[in-house]
Structure formats: C-alpha cells, structure tokens
Amino acid sequence: EPEVTQTPSHQVTQMGQEVILRCVPISNHLYFYWYRQILGQKVEFLVSFYNNEISEKSEIFDDQFSVERPDGSNFTLKIRSTKLEDSAMYFCASGQESGSPLHFGNGTRLTVT
Amino acid sequence: AQSVSQHNHHVILSEAASLELGCNYSYGGTVNLFWYVQYPGQHLQLLLKYFSGDPLVKGIKGFEAEFIKSKFSFNLRKPSVQWSDTAEYFCAVTLTGANNLFFGTGTRLTVIP
C-alpha cells in the first residue's frame, strides 16, 4: 500500500535556526497537509495545500512557517527561526480529494534546544 | 468554536473486555467523522469513517462506531479487545467539503494480556 514518507524522523536544532521538514505524499493525491502534536496535547492543523498554493491555514501557521512543493513529489515545511515552543511531532498527510480520509506519515519529531 | 472532545485520556482493559471510547464534537454544519489509531512508533492510520447513510459504521480490526446526531457523538466500540489493540485512538471531524481535520486529544488504550 502506498505510504506518505517523512524525513528526518528526528531533528534537533538550536533556537533561532531554520529547519526544513520533508514529506513525500502519495503520488496520485492532490491535497497536502501539515499537522503538529506538542507532547501531551492534541493533533493540531497547520496548513493545507492544493493546486500549488495554500488553501487554508491555522493561526499557528504564522510568518515563521512556509510550505513548498518544489518538484512535484516533495512537500516541505520550513520554520524560519525556530522557537522552543515549536518542539513537537510534525505530521504530513495527503488526501485524494477534498474531505477524503487522510493518509499520514510517521512524523518528524522536532526538538528545539 | 469548533471542538472535538475525548473524555477518556487513558483506558486500561484486560483482553476480551469490551471497549467504548467516547467522542463528542461541536459543529454547526454537516460533518464527516473519523477515528484514527496510532500504534506505538507508527503513523496515524484510519480505523473507520462516517460521511452519510447508516450511522453505524464498521471499520478494520473489528471496530465500529455509531454516529448519534442528536448527541453530537461518534463513540468507538469493540466487543472484545486484544493485546494488539494497545494504541492511541483519535477522533477527528471535518466539515463536509472542507479540508482540515480537527482532532480530539486522543485516548490511550492499554490492553493487559
């Protein structure tokens, strides 16, 4: 069964540094998402992406965050200047069409020190 | 504001016991409802979904859930749990036609052999 893959599985970075989290969605999916889960808290929506542009974003997704689909297969989340509170598990997901069930990757654990 | 509530944070059961995990949501419109499971060290996987029709939906691994519109609930059930059901269970909701999922805080299920 096709999978969403995320790299790296764990990223440690210093406060103020830029990080890029990478995802390869399922190939025939058209909708792409980033979610995050701070330890002990709920999974939170960050952003959705369709047709090469952001279709929806949450208030968490401020100017420090950006997403890109640079080459038709990868889908990246960039955090420009990381803060301690950005430490979380970041999940990428993809869906075939709007409202369809999402397929999630294994997540990237980001630790900001 | 939209929200999804899972009242049980941690449930501990013996094998063969019956399971019911609660999920309530607060949304004004027509919703699609999901249960996802996250086994230790793995990604979120879809257990079952409700879009329309029969409010009793059956998913994988013997799980089922019942949508009760008047109670804004979508409780997950399994008649007889197994040790391999030990995992975190997330209820999620999306408005029909919308892209982003709203998750509950999750319920950790521990099944004792």
User: Which DSSP string do the residues of A3-61 spell out, in sequence order?
Assistant: --EEE-SEEEE-TT--EEEEEE--TT--EEEEEEE-TTS-EEEEEEEETTEEEEE-TT-
pLDDT given for residue B1 in this prediction: 63
For the stretch A9-48, pLDDT in tens is 999 999 999 999 999 999 989 999 999 999 878 889 999 9
Whole-angstrom distance, CA of residue A93 vs CA of residue A45? 11
What would the mean pLDDT of A52-56 be, rounded to a whole number?
Answer: 91
Q: Which chain A residue shows the shortest CA-CA distance from B92?
A: A43
Inspect the interface and report whether the beta carbons of A102 and B46 lie closer than 8 Å.
yes
pLDDT given for residue A75 in this prediction: 96
Chain B residues with beta carbon closer than 8 angstroms to that of A42: 4, 103-106
Cis omega (within 30 of 0) for bond into A2: no
Inspect the interface and report whether the beta carbons of B105 and A41 lie closer than 8 Å.
yes
Please give the structure tokens belonging to residue B86.
């030990």
> Strand ranges (DSSP E) for B1-113?
3-5, 10-14, 19-21, 24-26, 31-38, 44-50, 56-58, 64-68, 73-78, 87-95, 102-103, 107-112
Burial label, B9 (beta-carbon count in 10 A; 0-12, 13-18, 19+): exposed
pLDDT given for residue A63 in this prediction: 95
Q: How far is CA A112 from CA A22, A54, B61, in A?
A: 17, 26, 38
Residue window 48-77, chain B: list those with CB within 8 Å of chain A: 49, 51
pLDDT given for residue A39 in this prediction: 86
For the stretch A2-17, pLDDT in tens is 789 999 999 999 999 9
For the stretch A87-105, pLDDT in tens is 999 999 999 887 778 899 9
B94 touches chain A (CB under 8 A): yes
For the stretch A61-78, pLDDT in tens is 999 999 999 888 899 999
Q: Give the residues of chain B that fall short of pLDDT 50.
A: none
Angle, CA of B74, B102 and A50, to the nearest 5°: 125
Map residue B94 onto helix, strand or coil.
strand
